[in-house]
Amino acid sequence: MYYFSSVLVSGADKRAVQIARQLEDEIIARGWPVGEVLGSETELQARFGVSRSVLREAIRLVEHHQVGRMRRGRNGGLFVAAPDPGPATRALVIYLEFAGTGVEHLLQARLLLEPLAARLAAAAVTEEGIGPLRDALEVEPARWDEWDPRSEDLHVTLGRSSGNVVLQLFVDVLIRLTSRSARALRPRPEEDVAARHNDHARHVQIIEAVIAGDAATAEITMADHLEQTTNWLIANRAGRPAGRPLPRSSAPSAGAGRKLAEVMADRIHDDIAADGWRVGDVLGSETDLLHRYGVSRAALREAVRLLEHHGVAVMRRGPGGGLVVQAPDPTASIHTIALYLDYEGLSPADLRVVREAIELGCIRAVTADGASPEGADRLRAAVERAAELGDSGDVFHNELAELGGNPVLALFLRISTELWARHSRTERPATPAVADEVRRVHEKILDAVLAGDDGLAQHRMRRHLQALTAWWH
- H or E segment at 313? strand 313-316
Residue 317 main-chain phi, psi, to 5 deg: -85, 170
- Three-state DSSP class for 60? helix
Give the pLDDT confidence of 257-277 residue by residue, as tens digits: 567 888 898 889 888 988 888
- Three-state DSSP class for 65? coil
- Three-state DSSP class for 68? strand
423 or 378, higher pLDDT: 378
Residue 295 main-chain phi, psi, to 5 deg: -125, 170
Give the pLDDT confidence of 191-225 residue by residue, as tens digits: 566 777 888 899 999 999 999 999 999 999 999 99
The pLDDT mean for the chain works out to 84
pLDDT reported for residue 22 = 92
Domain 1-82 and domain 347-469, same fold? Reply is: no
pLDDT reported for residue 205 = 96
In 3D, which of 467, 176, 466, 165 has the Cα closest to residue 338?
165
| Pick from 23-27, 107-111, 135-139, 147-151: least confident | 147-151
Q: What is the pTM of this model?
A: 0.84
Residue 465 per-residue DSSP state = H
Q: What angle do CA 280, 281, 286 make, to 5 degrees?
A: 115
In 3D, which of 272, 250, 273, 264 has the Cα closest to residue 304?
264
Beta bridge partners of 102: none
Cα R_g (the chain), whole angstroms: 23
The structural domains of the chain, with segments of one domain joined by +, span 1-82, 101-236, 347-469
C-alpha 79 chain-centroid distance: 25
- H or E segment at 322? strand 322-325
In 3D, which of 238, 228, 107 has the Cα closest to residue 183?
238
- Count other C-beta atoms under 10 Å from residue 141's C-beta: 10
- Three-state DSSP class for 79? strand
- The maximal CA–CA distance of the chain, rounded, in angstroms, is 68
pLDDT beyond 50 at 255: no
Contact 435, 419 (CB under 8 A): no
In 3D, which of 291, 271, 274 has the Cα closest to residue 283?
271
| Cα gap 280→126, rounded to integer Å | 52
Mean pLDDT of 227-249: 60
pLDDT beyond 80 at 336: yes
Those residues whose C-beta lies under 8 Å from the C-beta of residue 328, and which sit 6 or more positions away, are 91, 94, 95, 98, 277, 310, 311, 312
Mean pLDDT of 335-344: 89
427 — pLDDT class (breaks 50, 70, 90): very low
The CATH classification number of 1-82 equals 1.10.10.10
Buried b (16+ CB within 10 A) or exposed e, 419-431: bbbbbbeeebeee
pLDDT beyond 60 at 189: no
381 or 255, higher pLDDT: 381
**The amino acid at 352:** R
Task: Taking the CA atoms of 279, 285, 288 and 290 in sequence, report the sign of the dihedral they define.
Answer: positive
pLDDT reported for residue 161 = 94
**The amino acid at 46:** A
Q: At what angle do helices 407-424 and 331-343 cross, to 10 degrees?
A: 50
Residue 325 main-chain phi, psi, to 5 deg: -70, 135
pLDDT reported for residue 238 = 52
Ranked by mean pLDDT, the top range of 60-74, 159-173, 415-429 is 159-173
Mean pLDDT of 327-346: 88
Give the pLDDT confidence of 303-318 residue by residue, as tens digits: 998 888 888 999 998 8
pLDDT reported for residue 253 = 43
pLDDT beyond 50 at 245: no
pLDDT beyond 50 at 5: no
Give the pLDDT confidence of 14-67 residue by residue, as tens digits: 889 899 989 998 998 888 999 999 999 999 999 999 999 999 989 988 988 889
152 or 61, higher pLDDT: 61
| Pick from 279-283, 370-374, 389-393: least confident | 389-393
In the chain, the percentage of residues whose pLDDT exceeds 90 is: 48
Strand ranges, E, within 77-136: 77-80
In 3D, which of 409, 462, 467 has the Cα closest to residue 437?
467
Alpha helices, DSSP H, located in 310-431: 331-343, 348-369, 373-389, 394-403, 407-424
Those residues whose C-beta lies under 8 Å from the C-beta of residue 131, and which sit 6 or more positions away, are none
pLDDT reported for residue 3 = 35
- Three-state DSSP class for 413? helix
pLDDT reported for residue 393 = 64
The helix/strand count (H/E) of the chain reads as: 20, 4
What is the CATH topology of the domain spanning 101-236?
Answer: Four Helix Bundle (Hemerythrin (Met), subunit A) (1.20.120)
pLDDT reported for residue 260 = 85
Contact 416, 469 (CB under 8 A): no
| Cα gap 380→64, rounded to integer Å | 36
247 or 15, higher pLDDT: 15
What is the CATH topology of the domain spanning 347-469?
Answer: Four Helix Bundle (Hemerythrin (Met), subunit A) (1.20.120)
Strand ranges, E, within 34-91: 68-71, 77-80
Task: Taking the CA atoms of 176, 180, 186 and 188 in sequence, report the sign of the dihedral they define.
Answer: positive
Beta bridge partners of 80: 68
In the chain, the percentage of residues whose pLDDT exceeds 70 is: 85
